[in-house]
């Protein structure tokens, strides 16, 4: 989803266009020393509680730290999304001992924002939606997220959510809850082929609780109450219930591991996410399960080149799997080179590989002519990328084969902007031999 206004529309409102001074640029400096940490000093976090920053550090006072670890720490703190600028500076107090000064400039965290986007990343007026929302992603200064939104246009929906990543005595438990409702045109080719074009509606209420096991690992359990209904067209091959409405409970367990330096366009680290879900607990005709995984690795090879790889999948199993739980390429997940080619099934497998070459390394653009300090420092970067994508869907995992495989390859550029916003322009060739230009928001890996 593209939410203009949270970072972008508000920028347009607060720029002062008179007497614009020149931009100034500053690179993130790298040192080459090793030292023992005497003290950790935080500066600039007027709203954010100190523990929110400290819980991202891979070292403590008394540990020996290298310059590489200090750079990695800077990226981890920036990845929280709570700051527009982060500096980690060693202050030597002896030959091999230093204080670590962590200086931050806080992001604007309360956003009344317009919502504007295209359903399933398909840039078409028919898929356009828009609405309003309110988001606070640093509620009470503790990285809590509170959000409410409603959207009209293509597939209108509404949601309200709350999450806290750090509760309990040791700040290592998390909790989240929310509710949502949507109503719109069915997107599945299979169910449309069987029943003709129709509208559907989805609603749910969920709660999730978990624990942060260490710096990188989180385990969680969740439960939800779900409502799915087919609301036009008399024929029913969509829901499992004869009346076209499925109402059921679901539960899931999740494990995630995230050692990436950055959550957006990482250059080093590993990301793993495994989810086991069970839909229906004996209270309805719904009775199936799903296992999903997302595995990514990022390797810096040289200072001017890094590699990124991803494998992902979602495998369904059960006596009867409803079409509303289908998974897709050509909607949310995409194969560059066959960007708009739609493939649908009950299970999906895919992989991506990228070579990334920085054109403009991560740097800060200082813009003092913004009237609000939260927008004076903005980090940007620009990369060349060369990629190969592949994947396929199937109603049964064992039925997957080379004859159904979608694939594409090509290259392009990725522009990283403040507030976790990125733009990608690619030129790719697909399995069918055709070339295409791709303009997309967000990243694939």
Eight-state DSSP code of residue 15: B
- Main-chain dihedrals φ then ψ at residue 439, nearest 5 degrees: -120, 115
- Please state which CATH class domain 31-106 belongs to: alpha beta
Cα separation, 165 vs 209, in Å, equals: 10
Q: How far is CA 125 from CA 2, 154, 199, in A?
A: 15, 9, 19
pLDDT for 441: 82
Neighbours of 379 (CB within 10 A): 19
pLDDT for 110: 84
Residue positions counted in the chain: 445
pLDDT at residue 30 is higher than 80: no
Q: Which residue has the higher pLDDT, 294 or 363?
A: 294
- 221-240: b or e for each residue (b if 16 or more CB lie within 10 Å)? ebebebebbbeebeebbbbb
| pLDDT tens per residue, range 254-286 | 999 999 998 888 989 999 999 999 999 999 999
- Whether this prediction's pTM lies above 0.85 is answered by no
pLDDT at residue 211 is higher than 80: yes
| pLDDT tens per residue, range 384-399 | 999 999 999 998 666 6
Output Rg (C-alpha) for the chain, integer angstroms. 23
Mean pLDDT of 404-430: 92
% of the chain beyond a pLDDT of 90: 55
- The pLDDT-based confidence of 164 (bands split at 50, 70, 90) is very high
Report yes or no: 391 and 405 within 8 Å, Cβ to Cβ: yes
The whole-chain average pLDDT of the chain stands at 84
Report yes or no: 319 and 339 within 8 Å, Cβ to Cβ: no
Cα separation, 424 vs 187, in Å, equals: 25
Q: Token pair for residue 145?
A: 């997220």
- 199-217: b or e for each residue (b if 16 or more CB lie within 10 Å)? ebbbbbebebebebeeebe
**CA-wise closest residue to 164 among 138, 201, 186:** 138
| Contacts (Cβ under 8 Å, ≥6 apart) of 120 | 127, 187, 328, 330, 331, 332
| Contacts (Cβ under 8 Å, ≥6 apart) of 168 | none
| pLDDT tens per residue, range 217-268 | 999 999 999 998 865 655 555 678 878 789 999 999 999 999 999 888 898 9
Mean pLDDT of 190-196: 48
């Amino acid at each position: 989803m593209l939410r203009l206004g949270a970072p972008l529309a508000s920028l347009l409102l607060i720029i002062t266009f008179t007497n614009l001074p020149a931009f100034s640029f500053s690179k993130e400096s790298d040192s080459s020393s090793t030292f023992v940490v005497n003290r950790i000093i935080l500066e600039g976090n007027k709203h954010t509680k100190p523990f929110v920053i400290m819980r991202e550090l891979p070292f403590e006072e008394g540990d020996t730290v290298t310059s590489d670890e200090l750079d990695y720490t800077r990226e981890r703190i920036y990845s929280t999304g709570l700051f527009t600028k982060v500096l980690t500076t060693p202050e030597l107090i002896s030959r091999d001992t230093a204080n670590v000064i962590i200086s931050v400039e806080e992001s604007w965290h309360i956003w009344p924002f317009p919502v504007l986007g295209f359903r399933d990343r398909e840039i078409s007026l028919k898929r356009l939606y828009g609405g309003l929302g309110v988001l606070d992603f640093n509620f009470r200064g503790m990285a809590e997220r509170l959000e409410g939104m409603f959207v009209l246009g293509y597939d209108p929906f509404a949601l309200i959510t709350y999450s806290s990543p750090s509760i309990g005595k040791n700040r290592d438990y998390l909790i989240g809850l929310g509710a949502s409702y949507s109503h719109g045109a069915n997107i599945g080719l299979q169910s449309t082929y069987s029943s003709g074009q129709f509208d559907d509606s989805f609603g749910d209420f969920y709660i999730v609780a978990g624990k942060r096991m260490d710096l990188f690992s989180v385990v969680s359990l969740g439960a939800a109450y779900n409502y799915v209904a087919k609301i036009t067209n008399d024929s029913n091959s969509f829901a499992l219930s004869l009346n076209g409405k499925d109402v059921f409970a679901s539960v899931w367990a999740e494990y995630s591991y995230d050692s990436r330096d950055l959550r957006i366009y990482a250059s080093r680290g590993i990301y793993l996410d495994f989810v086991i879900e069970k839909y229906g607990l004996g209270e309805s005709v719904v009775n199936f399960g799903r296992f999903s995984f997302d595995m990514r690795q990022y390797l810096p090879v040289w200072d001017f080149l890094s590699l990124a790889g991803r494998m992902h999948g979602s495998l369904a199993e059960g006596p009867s799997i409803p079409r509303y739980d289908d998974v897709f390429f050509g909607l949310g997940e995409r194969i560059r080179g066959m960007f708009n080619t739609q493939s649908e099934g009950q299970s999906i497998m895919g992989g991506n590989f990228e070579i990334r070459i920085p054109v403009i390394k991560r740097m800060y653009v200082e813009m003092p002519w913004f009237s609000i300090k939260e927008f004076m420092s903005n980090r940007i970067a620009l990369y060349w990328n060369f990629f190969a994508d592949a994947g396929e869907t199937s109603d049964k995992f064992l039925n997957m084969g080379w004859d159904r495989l979608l694939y594409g390859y090509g290259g392009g550029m990725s522009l990283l902007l403040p507030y976790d916003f990125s733009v990608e322009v690619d030129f790719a060739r697909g399995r069918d031999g055709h070339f295409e230009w791709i303009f997309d928001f967000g990243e694939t890996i």
